[in-house]
Structure 1
């Protein structure tokens, strides 16, 4: 019954004999009835970014409460630093921990942070400006979401990596849909609520209420998805591969585990370098400098909101395109990830160049292209990479790719602090 992962890996490289074997056995694979598993993984992808987005969406309110503080940049650093603490630990001890437990613990931490934030506002800050104890508590809660995000994102992407590529694609469509959702919420609150202290506070509360609701749904969905026949099928493939390997090599501990982990990291290094370059480029530009340094006399404070929405819509489009056309060449995708560095001088020209290109249209077009390439290349590399290792290591490979992604985020956010644009 089980398809050996070596055959699957060979099929990913274009081995026609292995492809034929997989097609012959495809009839044995349970159907994803009503695309339920796909929808759940899409929802899980949307969910793990929402807590972070809730804090970023409420940046107007936090800026009002704590004037003079670079909220965007501080929040980004706090979140990423804690992710960089959790993800390497998850990778190093993946053979001793269970993704199911890690993900549920991560969701619990998400809920603690999301419920605590409105509680602190109502009981301590009370909408008063300059209560910096509330600011430090908020930064701490952002850090907690970073820790939780490492647990949840690493686990969800890792789980999806054990499945056919469409489920990894679903996760990343979900992450992009999350961006569109939060942008829509920001536009609605900006249009419906007065942009004074009370209106900003109401908007912030709405962000956290919506996010808490989605987190609760995600907990239910994640604890249901493992019972679906199609997911059980691939879980059994993984279990069979692990048992077979154990018979030949023994328990995966000590020196054997370190050697295996090193091989996995080595197999991911070029995919990972592409992920680093994608997010180094994106975070150097978006959201910090792009939303803080561009100005429009016509659109005024709606300009950054429109740019963020444009980026998120095209990021969603890029991640969705892989369901229609998936680039087969990892090498081309990796090269394209490095070519994206050209966005930096292009944006520099839009910010400091001739008046003709410092207008809304060139910046908006460039921002949409930034989102489109970010989404498509991320989805391509994340789909292809886990298929290059054996199925029992696909989860770890996916988590390693997430670590590379976060390293790219960290470097990119650091570059944005340097105000190179």
Structure 2
């Protein structure tokens, strides 16, 4: 495969490298909070030994994420992409902060009320993930291919990064770092990313081609671009597949994704967290196992 080169569709505009770096950070932020919760589950197992948090939290997270993504997908053409992503990252930040506050408020003593609170946060992480992951991939699809590649690389790296941090930090500091990182993502997406010249170019280009979901992004970047009327008229007569038709055409991929998630989540993190037996690493065994699993996952990505 030939290396990607700039051409008429992807000109070399100022801010490209900065955009790639920001996309990587935003990709990290998309799963940083949830991976933090997964990685800290050795702590939760200690706090809530009767409630099996390593199994329950995943069962709470996934239905919330799936339900939200189905709702968003059914209305994707009318949703403001910028607001969707900002809501997601803001929810990640507030939920991560809630984990820290909850732990401080209960003095790390556990209990049913604290566990219910953690479950609620897990569900909010699922809602936030559904907002951000789909929204960002859709947003970056208008732009340079290296942007979405960087975003996906950040997604893959977040697990290894959180696992490595867990090895060298205690629970409270770990929660604080997670919250701060999500706050950085909110600031980057809200104030830095939309003002990069290369991002302005691609969003203006999308608007002139009839895209209705980038108006707020253009305004955030200080641009007001009217859509090309010819492109808008042409779009009216182009065939647009419904979500049902798209799902039917990609049924094999949907089944593959379902099976991959079902198999993965049946083993990780629940089985790895609780059914580890006795090992020379002691309590470090789960952390090291998580880190190796995330590194392997990142290398495959």
Q: Which band: TM-score by shorter chain?
A: 0.7 to 0.9
Task: Give 1:232's aligned residue.
Answer: 200
CA distance in 2, matches of 1:50, 1:23: 31
CA distance in 1, matches of 2:193, 2:237: 29
Distance change >3 Å, CA 275–CA 245, structure 1 → 2: farther
In 2, are the aligned partners of 1:117 and 1:138 still within 8 Å (CA)? yes
Deviation at 1:104, TM superposition (A): 0.8
Distance change >3 Å, CA 120–CA 23, structure 1 → 2: closer
Q: Does 1:186 align with 2:166?
A: yes
How does 1:377-396 map onto structure 2 within 5 Å? none
Deviation digits for residues 105-140 of structure 1 (CA, Å, limit 9, x no counterpart): 1222222212222222323x22334x2111111111
Q: Does 1:217 align with 2:173?
A: no
Task: Give 1:241's aligned residue.
Answer: 209
Task: Give 1:121's aligned residue.
Answer: 103
The one of 103, 108, 115 equivalent to 2:90 is 108
Q: Does 1:49 align with 2:25?
A: no
Q: Structure 2 length as normaliser, TM-score? A: 0.82
Distance change >3 Å, CA 24–CA 181, structure 1 → 2: closer
The one of 157, 173, 176 equivalent to 2:156 is 176
Task: Give 2:113's aligned residue.
Answer: 133
Deviation at 1:76, TM superposition (A): 0.5
In 1, are the aligned partners of 2:34 and 2:122 still within 8 Å (CA)? yes
The one of 166, 169, 173 equivalent to 2:146 is 166
Q: Structure 1 length as normaliser, TM-score? A: 0.60
Distance change >3 Å, CA 154–CA 185, structure 1 → 2: same
Q: Does 1:64 align with 2:31?
A: no
CA distance in 1, matches of 2:32, 2:284: 22
Could you say what the CA RMSD is over the residues aligned between the two structures, in angstroms? Answer: 2.7
Gaps spanning 5+ residues in structure 2: where?
Answer: 211-227
| Greater RCO (Cα-Cα under 8 Å, separation 6 or more) | 2
Task: Give 1:25's aligned residue.
Answer: 8
CA distance in 1, matches of 2:48, 2:262: 28
Larger radius of gyration: 1
How does 1:307-386 map onto structure 2 within 5 Å? 307-319=289-301
Deviation at 1:251, TM superposition (A): 9.6
How many residues matched?
279
CA distance in 1, matches of 2:268, 2:45: 18
In 2, are the aligned partners of 1:295 and 1:303 still within 8 Å (CA)? no
CA distance in 2, matches of 1:206, 1:301: 19
Structure with more helix by fraction: 1
Task: Give 1:148's aligned residue.
Answer: 128
| Structure 2 residue matching 1:139: 3-state secondary structure | helix
Q: Does 1:305 align with 2:287?
A: yes
CA distance in 1, matches of 2:186, 2:237: 32
Task: Give 2:214's aligned residue.
Answer: none
CA distance in 2, matches of 1:23, 1:291: 46
Deviation at 1:98, TM superposition (A): 0.8
Deviation digits for residues 320-364 of structure 1 (CA, Å, limit 9, x no counterpart): xxxxxxxxxxxxxxxxxxxxxxxxxxxxxxxxxxxxxxxxxxxxx
Distance change >3 Å, CA 61–CA 311, structure 1 → 2: closer
Task: Give 1:401's aligned residue.
Answer: none
Task: Give 1:293's aligned residue.
Answer: 275
Distance change >3 Å, CA 47–CA 205, structure 1 → 2: same
Task: Give 1:382's aligned residue.
Answer: none
CA distance in 2, matches of 1:218, 1:145: 15
In 1, are the aligned partners of 2:15 and 2:197 still within 8 Å (CA)? no
Gaps spanning 5+ residues in structure 1: where?
Answer: 1-13, 15-21, 190-202, 320-421
Distance change >3 Å, CA 225–CA 66, structure 1 → 2: same
CA distance in 2, matches of 1:145, 1:36: 27
The one of 168, 173, 182 equivalent to 1:206 is 173
Distance change >3 Å, CA 122–CA 154, structure 1 → 2: same
